[in-house]
Amino acid sequence: MHHLCKVLLQLTLKDNLTLSAQYSFQFNRRSEFDIRRGGRSNIPALDLSLATQALDLDLEHKLGKNWQGGIGLNTSLQDNDNIPGTGVRPIVPNYNRFTQGVYWYERFIGKRFDLEAGIRYDYQYLEVATFVNRVELVKPDYQFSNASFTLGGTYYWSKYLTLQTNLTRAWRPPNISELFSQGLHHGSGIIEEGLLYENGQLNLEINPENEQAYKWVNTLTYQDTRFVLEASAYYNYIRNFIFLSPFDTRLTIRGAFPVFTYQQTDADFFGLDINGQYEVYKNFSSRSKVSLLYARDIVRDDVIIHMPPYRFDQSFTYQPKRLGKIKKPYFTLQSIYTARQFRAPRVVPISDITGLTNQQVSDIQAESVYDFIGPPSDYWLFNWQMGGEFSLSEEQSLQVGFSVENVFNIAYRDYLNRFRYYADDLGRNFIIRLQYNF
Cα 437 from chain centroid (whole Å): 33
Whole-number Å distance between alpha carbons of 383 and 420: 21
Nearer to other proteins, 166 or 188 (CB): 188
8 A C-beta contact, residue 410 and residue 379: yes
Of 102-110, 220-228, 250-258, 397-405, which part binds other proteins (CB under 8 A)?
Answer: 250-258
Of these, 112, 254, 321, 325, which contacts other proteins (CB under 8 A)?
Answer: 254
Cβ burial of 121 (10 Å; 0-12, 13-18, 19+) is middle
Residue 270, C-beta contacts closer than 8 angstroms, at least 6 positions apart:
234, 235, 236, 293, 294, 295
Work out how close the CB of 205 gets to other proteins at its nearest, in angstroms, rounded to a whole number. Answer: 19
Nearer to other proteins, 3 or 186 (CB): 186
Work out how close the CB of 107 gets to other proteins at its nearest, in angstroms, rounded to a whole number. Answer: 24
HSE of 60, CA atoms in CB hemisphere, 13 A:
12
Closest Cα partner for 130 from 171, 177, 192?
177
Closest Cα partner for 172 from 225, 85, 239?
239
Work out how close the CB of 87 gets to other proteins at its nearest, in angstroms, rounded to a whole number. Answer: 5
Closest Cα partner for 50 from 75, 82, 74?
82
Nearer to other proteins, 82 or 148 (CB): 82
Residues of span 6-25 touching other proteins by CB under 8 A? 9, 11, 13, 19, 21, 23, 25
One DSSP character per residue, 107-149 reads EEE-SSEEEEEEEEEEEEEEEEEEEETTTEEE--EEEEEEEEE
Q: Is residue 180 helix, strand or coil? A: helix
| # binding residues, other proteins (CB under 8 A) | 49
Residues of span 136-165 touching other proteins by CB under 8 A? 137, 139
Site string (58-97) toward other proteins, x via CB under 8 A: -----------------x-x-x-xx-xxxxxxx---x-x-
CA 383 vs CA 20, 107, 150, 286, 412: distances in Å: 45, 43, 39, 15, 14
Of these, 1, 42, 225, 255, which contacts other proteins (CB under 8 A)?
Answer: 255
Of 35-43, 104-112, 166-174, 396-404, which part binds other proteins (CB under 8 A)?
Answer: 35-43
Question: What type of residue sits at position 271?
Answer: G
Site string (175-214) toward other proteins, x via CB under 8 A: --------xx-x----x--------xx-------------
Residues in the chain: 438
Nearer to other proteins, 57 or 333 (CB): 57
Work out how close the CB of 155 gets to other proteins at its nearest, in angstroms, rounded to a whole number. Answer: 39
- Determine, following the binding rule CB under 8 A, whether residue 385 of this chain makes contact with other proteins: no
H/E element holding 366? helix 358-367
Residues of span 120-139 touching other proteins by CB under 8 A? 129, 131, 133-135, 137, 139
Binding residues for other proteins, rule: CB under 8 A, are 9, 11, 13, 19, 21, 23, 25, 35-38, 40, 51, 53, 55, 57, 75, 77, 79, 81-82, 84-90, 94, 96, 129, 131, 133-135, 137, 139, 183-184, 186, 191, 200-201, 250-255
